Amino acid sequence: MRIGPAHLLLPALALGAWACSDGTVELPGTARLEVHPSALEFGDVLIGTTATLAVTLDNVGSLELQLEVEPGTNVTACGSGGASTFCVTPVGPLTLAPGQRATLSAELRPVEDQRVVQGALRITGCPGCEAAVTLSGRGFRPAAPPDLRVTPSALDFGLAAAGVEVPRELLLENLGEQPLIVEGAAGIDGAPVRASGAGRIEPGQAMTMAVVATMPEGAWQGTLRIASNDPDGPLDVPVQGEGEPLPRCEYAVTEQVTLGAGEAGRPEVGWVRLQNRGLVDCLITQVAFSAGSAPELLLPRRPALPLRVPAWTWWDLPVEMIVTGPGRVQGVLQLTIDGASEPQIRIPIEGLGAETGFFASPPALDFGALPATCSAATRTVRLWRHSEAPTTLTGLRVEGDGFSLDRGPDLSSGPATVPTGESAEVVIGLAARPTTTSAGVLVIDSTVNDQAVTQRVPLIGRGLDAARVVERFVQLDRAMVDVLLAIDFTGCMTEERVGLANNFDALMRIVNVGQLNYQVGVTTTDLLLEAGRLMYPNHLYGDPFGGRPEDRIITASSVPDPEALYALALQARDEGGGIAANESGMGALYLALQPELLVGHNAGILRRDAHLGVLILTDEPDQTSRAAGSPSDSLDFYLDYYRAMKGVDGKTAFTAVAIAGDPPNGCEEQGGRALAAPRLAELADRSGGAFESVCSADWVATNEALSGAVAGEHRAFFLTQAPDPATLEVSVDGAPLPTTSWAYRASDRSIRFEPSQIPEPGAEIVIGYLPACP
Distance separating alpha carbons of residues 633 and 586, to the nearest angstrom: 10
> Are 449 and 352 contained in the same domain?
yes
- Structure-model confidence comparison of residues 70 and 3, the more confident one: 70
Output the CA–CA distances (angstroms, integers) from residue 71 to 84, 87, 139, 329, 618, in the order listed: 10, 8, 21, 62, 75
Asked if residue 255 is part of any domain, the answer here is no
The reported pLDDT for the residue numbered 189 is 92
Residue 462 CA to residue 464 CA, distance in Å, equals 7
pLDDT level of residue 99 (50, 70, 90 thresholds): very high
Phi, psi of 504 (to 5 degrees): -60, -45
Question: What pLDDT is attached to residue 370?
Answer: 85
pLDDT digit string, tens, across residues 233-281 = 999 999 999 887 767 788 999 999 999 999 999 999 999 999 998 888 8
Secondary structure of residue 9 in the 3-state scheme: strand
Q: What is the pLDDT of residues 193-219, one digit of tens each?
A: 999 888 999 999 999 899 999 989 899
Q: Which residues contact 28 (CB under 8 A, 6 or more apart)?
A: 7, 8
CA distance 522 to 705: 20
The residues that bridge with 271 in the sheet, in sequence order, are 318
- 361-404: pLDDT as tens digits: 999 999 988 886 777 889 999 999 999 999 999 999 999 888 99
Give the lowest-confidence range in 121-135, 218-232, 652-666, 726-740: 121-135
User: Which stretches does DSSP call E strand in 175-205?
Assistant: 180-188, 193-196, 199-201
Q: Tell me, yes or no, whether 685 and 751 share the same domain.
A: no
**In this structure, is residue 553 part of a structural domain?**
yes
Residue 289 lies in a domain: yes
Q: Based on the fold, state whether residues 136 and 154 are members of the same structural domain.
A: no
Separation between Cα atoms, residue 567 and residue 496, nearest integer Å: 12
- Give the max Cα distance, the chain: 150
CB atoms within 10 A of CB 61: 23
Q: What is the Cα gyration radius of the chain?
A: 39
How many domains does the structure of the chain reveal? Answer: 5
The answer, yes or no, to whether residue 567 has pLDDT greater than 90, is: no
- Pick the residue with more confidence: 522 or 548? 522
Average pLDDT over residues 217-223: 94
Taking residues 150-170, report their average pLDDT: 85
Specify if 367 maps to a domain: yes
| Bridge partners for 223 per DSSP | 188, 238
pLDDT-derived band of residue 724, with 50, 70 and 90 as boundaries?
A: very high
Bridge partners, 568 (sequence order): none
User: 72 with 187, same domain?
Assistant: no
Lowest mean pLDDT among 117-126, 349-358, 403-412, 641-650: 117-126
Residues in the chain: 774
Candidates 580, 618, 598, 599; CA nearest to 485 is 618
Number of Cα atoms under 13 Å in the Cβ half of residue 714: 26
Please name the residues in contact with 729: beta carbons below 8 A apart, sequence gap of 6 or more: 736, 767, 768, 769
Q: Which of 147, 132, 175 minimizes the C-alpha distance to 35?
A: 132
The reported pLDDT for the residue numbered 271 is 94
Q: What is the CATH number of the domain that holds 532?
A: 3.40.50.410
Residue 212, in any domain of the structure: yes
If phi over 0 gives left and psi between -120 and 50 gives alpha, with beta otherwise, what is residue 388?
alpha
Name the residue with higher pLDDT: 572 or 367: 367
Q: Bigger pLDDT: 16 or 711?
A: 711
Instruction: Provide the β-strand partners of residue 469.
Output: 769
Round to whole Å and give the CA distance between 614 and 575.
Answer: 22
The share of the chain scoring above pLDDT 90, in percent, equals 61
Q: Which of 326-340, 485-499, 720-734 has the lowest mean pLDDT?
A: 485-499
HSE-CB for 227 with a 13 A CA cutoff: 7
- pLDDT given for residue 16 in this prediction: 35
pLDDT score for 547: 77
Q: Where are the alpha helices (DSSP H) in 583-736?
A: 585-592, 595-598, 635-644, 678-686, 699-702, 704-711
Residue 671 has pLDDT above 70, yes or no: no
Return the pLDDT at 142: 81
Determine contact, residues 747/636, Cβ cutoff 8 Å: no
Residues 495 and 633 in one domain: yes
Q: Give me the DSSP letters along 742-759.
A: EEEETTTTEEEE-GGGPP
- Strand pairing category for 235-244 and 155-161: parallel
What is residue 222's predicted lDDT score, i.e. its pLDDT? 96
Residue 588 lies in a domain: yes
Domain membership flag for residue 258 = no
Q: What is the CATH number of the domain that holds 421?
A: 2.60.40.10
624 with 647, same domain: the answer is yes
pLDDT, position 437: 82
What range does the domain containing 733 cover? Answer: 725-769
Evaluate whether 147 touches 230 at the Cβ level (below 8 Å): yes
Residues 179 and 233 in one domain: yes
Residue type, 583: E
The DSSP output letter for 689 is: -
H or E stretch including 512? helix 509-513
Q: Does 512 share its domain with 653?
A: yes
Residues 563 and 637 in one domain: yes
Question: Whole-angstrom distance between the N-terminal and C-terminal Cα of the chain?
Answer: 107
Distance CA 471, CA 468 (A): 10
Task: Check whether residue 71 and residue 216 sit in a common domain.
Answer: no
Instruction: Give tens-digit pLDDT for 120-151.
Output: 999 998 887 889 999 999 888 888 899 999 99
User: Are residues 410 and 516 both part of a single domain?
Assistant: no
pLDDT at 24: 37
The number of angstroms, rounded, from the C-alpha of 726 to the middle of its chain's C-alpha atoms is 46
What is the pLDDT, as a whole number, of residue 8? 39
The answer to whether residue 249 sits within a structural domain is no
- The reply to whether 710 and 732 lie within a common domain is no
Is residue 61 scored above 60 in pLDDT? yes
Average pLDDT, the chain: 88
User: Which candidate, 267, 325, 103, 149, places its Cα nearest to that of 607?
Assistant: 267
Q: Decide which of 189, 216, 244 is a domain's last residue.
A: 244
Complete edge-to-edge strand list for the sheet that includes strand 257-262: 257-262, 344-353, 327-338, 282-289, 307-309
Distance CA(434)–CA(371), nearest Å, equals 7
pLDDT score of 27 more than 50: no
The answer to whether residues 133 and 125 touch, using CB atoms and an 8 Å cutoff, is: no
Cβ atoms 399, 441 nearer than 8 A: yes
Point out the least confidently predicted range of 323-332, 439-448, 498-507, 539-548: 539-548
The answer to whether 86 and 139 have CB atoms below 8 angstroms apart is: no
Q: What is the pLDDT of residue 12?
A: 37
Q: Do 713 and 481 touch, CB atoms closer than 8 A? A: no
Q: How many CB atoms neighbour CB 404 within 10 A?
A: 15
Sign for the CA dihedral angle at 355, 361, 367, 368 comes to positive
- Asked whether the predicted pLDDT for residue 5 surpasses 60, the reply is no
- DSSP sequence for 584-613: -HHHHHHHHTSHHHHTTTTTTS--TTSEEE
Give the domain-ending residue among 244, 264, 298. Answer: 244
Q: Which of 422, 444, 466 is the last residue of a domain?
A: 466
Select the more confidently predicted residue: 246 or 653. Answer: 653
